[in-house]
Amino acid sequence: MKRLRKLLLWLIIAPLLVVLAMQLYFFLQIGWWVNHNPGSTSFMRQQLDVLQEKNPSARLKHTWVPYDRISNHLKRAIIAAEDANFSDHEGVDWEAMQKAYEKNTRKGKVVSGGSTITQQLAKNLFLSGKRSYLRKGQEVIITYMLEFWMDKERIFEIYLNVVEWGNGVFGAEAAAQHYFGVSAAALSPAQAARLAVMLPKPRFYDKNRNSGYLARRTNLILRRMGAAELP
């Protein structure tokens, strides 16, 4: 009986130790990235695997550029389109998450996450693209780790360099070259707004560049960009 109790106790403790070890790994890795650039992300590696299933020699389009070599137009456009309160919140916009929860409840499945820029970065760095409340919980924990270690500019710099912008296209520099044949520093306001609007469904818009919604939403973001506050 005593051995059984010990076994049951271990079966409870062991998963908790694994979870704690994982959180420690995330915490220390983020601390390293304060002064070192990530070479890749979990999401980038997943997408590369998908591409290489069809073409073993496939490679991602990705070039890291520092924050000051990315157009301020693009920074303002992304904040206007994705996270208007980025410079002010502490990583999580709880009101947006509540609205997303209500929408998911109405739909009967997880269709919206209400994620901030920091949350999107947390997901891209470490997690899968699969939607679930368990993954969302882990995303929130990593989000607060990012906000603990990094200032907003560093968070935004990493985000701009690793976010997906098309089929195998990651980061602002690769996106600017892929769509417009210019550097990330040379993006015009209209080009920047268009890239920002593509973010929720980049692979779809990579194939559907003449989408009417894409054009209308781009014009809306163009009008909002002037009010966007940069970190």
Q: Which residues pair with 166 in a beta bridge?
A: 169
The model's pTM is: 0.89
Mean pLDDT of the chain: 90
Lowest mean pLDDT among 7-21, 62-76, 81-95, 150-164: 7-21
Report the C-alpha gap between 116 and 83 in whole angstroms: 6
- Neighbour count for residue 137 (Cβ, 10 Å): 10
- pLDDT at site 111: 46
- pLDDT at site 118: 97
Task: Tell me: pLDDT of 8 over 80.
Answer: no
15 and 113: one domain?
no
133 and 156: one domain?
yes
| 104-132 residues labelled b (16+ CB within 10 A) or e (exposed) | beeeeebeebbbbbbbbbbbbbbbeeeee
Order across the sheet with 164-166: list the strands: 61-62, 169-170, 164-166
Report the C-alpha gap between 169 and 75 in whole angstroms: 18
Report the C-alpha gap between 147 and 68 in whole angstroms: 21
The whole-number average pLDDT for the span 176-199 is 98
- What is the per-residue pLDDT across 26-36, written as a single tens digit (0 to 9) for each? 999 999 999 99
Phi-psi region of 143 (alpha: psi -120 to 50; beta: other; left: phi over 0): alpha
> Contact at 8 Å (CB) between 115 and 99?
no
Q: Which domain holds residue 9?
A: 1-36
122 and 220: one domain?
yes
Task: Tell me: pLDDT of 200 over 70.
Answer: yes
Look at the alpha carbons of 40, 19, 153, 129 in this order and tell me if their dihedral is positive or negative. Answer: positive
Q: At 218, is the pLDDT very low, low, confident or very high (cuts 50, 70, 90)?
A: very high
Percent of the chain with pLDDT over 90: 74
21 and 113: one domain?
no
In total, how many domains does the chain have?
A: 2
Q: Is 140 helix (H, G, I), strand (E, B) or coil?
A: helix
CATH number at 184 reads 1.10.3810.10
22 and 93: one domain?
no
- What is the per-residue pLDDT across 42-61, written as a single tens digit (0 to 9) for each? 999 999 999 999 999 999 99
> Contact at 8 Å (CB) between 194 and 206?
no
99 and 204: one domain?
yes
H or E element: which one contains 170?
strand 169-170
Task: Tell me: pLDDT of 95 over 90.
Answer: no
- pLDDT at site 113: 57
Higher per-residue pLDDT: 11 or 16:
16
- What is the per-residue pLDDT across 99-141, written as a single tens digit (0 to 9) for each? 766 665 665 554 455 689 999 999 999 987 777 777 888 999 9
Residue 223: both structure tokens together? 């009008």
Q: At 91, is the pLDDT very low, low, confident or very high (cuts 50, 70, 90)?
A: confident
124 and 219: one domain?
yes
> Contact at 8 Å (CB) between 38 and 31?
no
122 and 73: one domain?
yes
Task: Tell me: pLDDT of 208 over 60.
Answer: yes
> Contact at 8 Å (CB) between 230 and 152?
no
Report the C-alpha gap between 125 and 138 in whole angstroms: 12
71 and 171: one domain?
yes
